[in-house]
Chains A and B, each alone.
Chain A
Amino acid sequence: MPKEQANWSPYDNNGGSCVAVAGADYCVIAADTRMSTGYNILTRDYSKICKLADKCVMASSGFQADVKALQKHLAARHLIYQHQHNKQMSCPAMAQLLSNTLYYKRFFPYYSFNVLGGLDNEGKGCVFTYDAVGSYEKVGYSSQGSGSTLIMPFLDNQLKSPSPLLLPAQDAVTPLAEAEAIDLVKTVFALASERDIYTGDKLEIVVINADGIRREYMDLRKD
């Protein structure tokens, strides 16, 4: 008689896609607002984006319960940092903290695929991309989530980021202007919504620049 398998999983995938693009003095972070389970939609209006610090924003797709727990954990750690250092955490610092937090649960991971975007201490845009257990890299742009396989090749084609292996190290940030980058992101999500069933409904775009943080929305296909 064949062995009976466990059929309960602690994880679920709520779908969705996230993208972040770094510019010379801005950073664009975007994610769709559809939350699904299996072939069903749970809600069309769920934000996957979380502000971790003044100049640091994270977008995460995957299992939203784990994402929420991760966001709360990072927010609490940031508060402790502020009490101890009397200042906000910089984006690179938060990037390392996120990596350590994810690896801490190496053997029961946060099912969360993250992109971190923000401005570094010099005001230049930076994007960090992660896997579920904390392996991360500073890049010029990235996408994660169910639509990432459709989005990433398009971004590679449009943004032509130099290889991080080149010497001397070349700047990964895009020379595009802020408005152009936002347009690119909107195009990319319209593109993903066409073929990825888990991406759609509404697009939430967060832009960080020297003036602060602002939020924009755009409608996507609801099918």
Chain B
Amino acid sequence: MFRNQYDTDVTTWSPAGRLFQVEYAMEAVKQGSAAIGLRSKTHVVLGCVNKANSELSSHQKKIFEVDDHIGVAIAGLTADGRVLSRYMRNECINYSFTYESPLPVGRLVVQLADKAQVCTQRSWKRPYGVGLLVAGLDESGAHLYYNCPSGNYFEYQAFAIGSRSQAAKTYLERRFENFTGSSRDDLVKDAIMAIRETLQGETLKSSICTIAVVGAGEPFHVLDQGTVQQIIDTFETAAEQEDPATEPDAATGQEAAAEQGTAADHGGSTDEGAAPMDI
């Protein structure tokens, strides 16, 4: 994509009928570190790669609990994701308060999509630079949705977003037909394997990924590092390499996995250790 004379404003159409600012916002999602989601009939699993800005900092929180029955994984501008998570949490609380029942996932994603659309049609706003994988359970079953900055949303059996997500998508495409009948544990394993695909060579260990599950009788929660490491150990035949550089990484990974998340907001707020936004 190259700069052109129609990309200054989000309210300017190109002659080909494109809104370049919206498309650029979707590019921001592709720059973020990977997030994946997959669902079976009764469970939905979200996973993401923990990328820290530097060895000194903790990684950013990319998976958020929205309600007991809904969780979200984000890729892109994490600040935008945080703000949208707060909006989603609020919507769930208000719905529960009024109707004494959990907000159906399909309703929430529509509200989210409408909110994103507003930012594509106001000259004083910019689109949200974050893609959201919304995982949830309601009366109609388990759902996985993808909300993008354009205001569109799609339902998926399995999906991956962010950098190097194509590798995960290829893996998921090969296996997705089995997911509906998968057990919860198999689903978690598949999620970790999909994450591994995005790492492309890097050692898979629990400090580099975060996994969260929601299912029938199981409220949304992030799996603790110990559990994830156990699952990794069952299929990782190679022993973990002893890399001194990973020690501080594992330590910050541990601290971050205790879900203190954005409390340690050192340095830049961009994902992926990429250069700060030039725009």
Contacts and interface: CB of A to CB of B under 8 A. Distances in A.
- Answer yes or no: are A and B bound together in one complex: yes
Nearest to A86: B259
A76 B93 contact: yes
B89 interface: yes
Given A86-B259, A86-B260, A72 B89 contact: no
A80 B97 contact: no
A79 interface: yes
A171 to B, nearest CB: 34
Contacts of B93: 76, 79-80
B65 interface: yes
A83 interface: yes
Interface string B248-274: 000000000001110000000000000
Interface string A50-75: 00000000000000000000001100
Contacts of A86: 259-261
Given A83-B65, A86-B260, A76 B89 contact: no
Interface in A27-64: none
Interface in A63-109: 72-73, 76, 79-80, 83, 86
Interface string B37-55: 0000000000000000000
A58 B113 CA distance: 39
Interface residues of B, number: 11
Give the dominant DSSP class at B's interface: helix
Given A72-B97, A76-B97, A83 B259 contact: no
A1 B124 CA distance: 64
Nearest to B260: A86
Contacts of B86: 83
A73 B86 CA distance: 18
Interface in B44-82: 65
A97 B239 CA distance: 51
Nearest to A75: B97
B89 A83 contact: yes
A86 B93 CA distance: 16
B56 to A, nearest CB: 23
Contacts of A80: 89-90, 93
B65 to A, nearest CB: 7
Contacts of A79: 89, 93
Contacts of B261: 86
A80 B94 CA distance: 11
Contacts of B96: 76
A73 B98 CA distance: 11
A79 B97 CA distance: 11
Contacts of B65: 83
A73 B93 CA distance: 10
B80 to A, nearest CB: 17
Interface string B163-181: 0000000000000000000
Name which of A72, A76, A79 has the most chain B CB atoms within 10 A of its CB.
A79
Contacts of B260: 86
Nearest to B96: A76
A73 B94 CA distance: 10
Nearest to B261: A86
B90 to A, nearest CB: 8
A208 B93 CA distance: 27
A132 B93 CA distance: 26
A126 B93 CA distance: 29
Contacts of B94: 76
Nearest to A80: B93
Nearest to B92: A79
B98 to A, nearest CB: 10
Nearest to B258: A86
A86 B94 CA distance: 20
Interface string B76-110: 00000000001001100110110000000000000
A172 to B, nearest CB: 35
A207 B86 CA distance: 35
17 contacts: A72-B97, A73-B97, A76-B93, A76-B94, A76-B96, A76-B97, A79-B89, A79-B93, A80-B89, A80-B90, A80-B93, A83-B65, A83-B86, A83-B89, A86-B259, A86-B260, A86-B261
Q: Which 3 A-B residue pairs are closest in the complex by CB-CB distance?
A: A76-B93, A86-B259, A83-B89
Interface of A: 72-73, 76, 79-80, 83, 86
Given A73-B97, A86-B260, 7 more contacts: A76-B93, A76-B94, A76-B96, A80-B90, A80-B93, A83-B65, A83-B89
